């Protein structure tokens, strides 16, 4: 009788997810007697959180771990399980699930998220949560940084199709640093960039003396920036193409031709 009762209580506790008071009420016995039967059978009842006790997603370890991996925060986990935050943490401790099992945190799930862009010193920055492909695109980008300048992102991914090499900078053709459309961007060397901006400032100094000369010089400088930029982009793209071809393995046929020519 006791063995059969032990099996019944254990199944109700583990399979039906009933609490000891619920089992005792269902079987018409006292809670103390339930515990006595389980103790005699060598079964220890774990002290489980009150909230979520009857939820299979909380009680079943595999289901709980899968749910944790699909959440960014403990609060999100608690909301999905419809239990308090503290109970969600207790269930994590019960199943030995660490905080590192949660999804990698993304700023876009934060309650203060404002779209992932902000202005700083006249430059627009974009969150890497939005430009999530950028870190893969540019392996040299500091993985600890969470934002990238919009004009750099546009120039590298849409204009140049490669990270900007050292010694080159992005230039705004209309000199409006907030206009980061691809058509308004080009790539200049640092010396070219300095030359354009210095002479733009000199041309504008002529505004009060000779307006027509000012406009003429600014127009010529913009044309020069476009020509320099086009040449730089072409050279950088060609350099990338040659680098990829040189890195590619030589086929047997090409190797044979090279050997014959060498002889």
Model pLDDT, residue 222 = 93
| CB-count burial class (<10 Å; 0-12, 13-18, 19+) for 219 | exposed
Q: Distance (Å, rounded) from C-alpha 33 to C-alpha 42? A: 14
Query: How far, in whole angstroms, is CA 118 from its chain's centroid?
Result: 17
Contacts by 230-237, CB closer than 8 A, 24 or more apart: 230/186, 232/168, 232/186, 232/187, 232/188, 232/189, 232/192, 233/159, 233/160, 233/186, 233/187, 236/160, 236/162, 236/165, 236/168, 236/187, 237/160, 237/161, 237/162
* Same domain? 75 vs 15: no
Residue 7 lies in a domain: yes
> Whole domain around residue 255: which residue ranges?
165-263
**Residues paired with residue 170 on neighbouring β-strands, in sequence order:** 187
Residue 23 lies in a domain: yes
Contact (CB, 8 A) for 127 and 146: yes
Q: Which of 149, 180, 212 is the last residue of a domain?
A: 149
Residue 160 lies in a domain: no
* Same domain? 257 vs 174: yes
**Placement of tokens 């320099």 in the chain:** 228
Model pLDDT, residue 230 = 93
Model pLDDT, residue 54 = 76
Residue 191 lies in a domain: yes
Residue 156 lies in a domain: no
Number of domains the chain contains: 4
Residue 174 lies in a domain: yes
Residues in the chain: 263
* Same domain? 256 vs 201: yes
Model pLDDT, residue 256 = 47
- Cβ neighbours around 103 below 10 Å, total: 13
CA angle 226, 228, 232 (to 5 degrees): 115
User: Which one, of 190, 182, 115, lies nearest residue 150 by Cα?
Assistant: 182
Which strand (E) or helix (H) includes residue 125? strand 123-127
Q: Distance (Å, rounded) from C-alpha 131 to C-alpha 129? A: 6
- Cβ neighbours around 233 below 10 Å, total: 17
DSSP 138-189: -TTS-TT--EEEHHHHHIIIIIISSPPPTTEEEEETTS-TT---GGGEEEEE
* Same domain? 129 vs 204: no
Residue 50 lies in a domain: no
Tens of pLDDT, residue by residue, the chain (263 residues) = 478 888 888 888 777 777 788 888 888 888 888 888 888 888 877 677 878 877 888 888 888 999 998 888 888 899 999 999 998 998 898 888 888 888 766 666 666 666 677 788 878 888 776 666 777 788 777 777 778 888 988 898 888 888 898 999 999 998 888 889 999 999 999 999 999 999 999 888 887 777 788 888 999 999 999 999 999 999 998 988 888 777 766 554 455 455 555 55
Residue 181 lies in a domain: yes
């Amino acid at each position: 009788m006791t063995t059969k009762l032990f099996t019944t209580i254990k199944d109700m506790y583990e399979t039906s997810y009933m609490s000891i008071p619920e089992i005792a009420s269902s079987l018409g016995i006292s809670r103390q007697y339930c515990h006595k039967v389980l103790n005699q059978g060598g079964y220890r009842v774990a002290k489980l959180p009150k909230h979520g006790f009857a939820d299979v997603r909380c009680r079943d370890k595999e289901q709980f771990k899968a749910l944790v991996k699909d959440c960014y925060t403990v609060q999100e986990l608690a909301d999905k399980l419809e239990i308090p935050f503290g109970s969600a943490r207790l269930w994590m401790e019960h199943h030995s699930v660490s905080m590192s099992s949660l999804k990698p945190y993304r700023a876009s799930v934060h309650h203060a998220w404002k779209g992932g862009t902000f202005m700083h010193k006249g430059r627009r920055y974009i969150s890497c949560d939005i430009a999530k492909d950028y870190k893969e695109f540019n392996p040299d980008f500091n993985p600890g940084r969470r934002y990238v300048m919009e004009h750099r992102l546009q120039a590298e991914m849409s204009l140049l199709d490669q990270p900007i090499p050292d010694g080159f900078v992005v230039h705004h053709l209309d000199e409006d640093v907030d206009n980061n459309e691809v058509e308004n961007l080009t790539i200049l060397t640092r010396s070219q960039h300095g030359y354009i901006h210095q002479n733009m400032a000199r041309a504008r100094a002529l505004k009060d003396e000779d307006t027509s000369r000012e406009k003429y010089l600014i127009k010529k400088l913009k044309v020069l920036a476009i020509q320099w930029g086009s040449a730089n982009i072409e050279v950088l793209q060609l350099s990338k193409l040659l680098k990829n071809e040189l890195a590619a393995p030589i086929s047997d046929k090409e190797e044979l031709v090279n050997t014959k020519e060498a002889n």
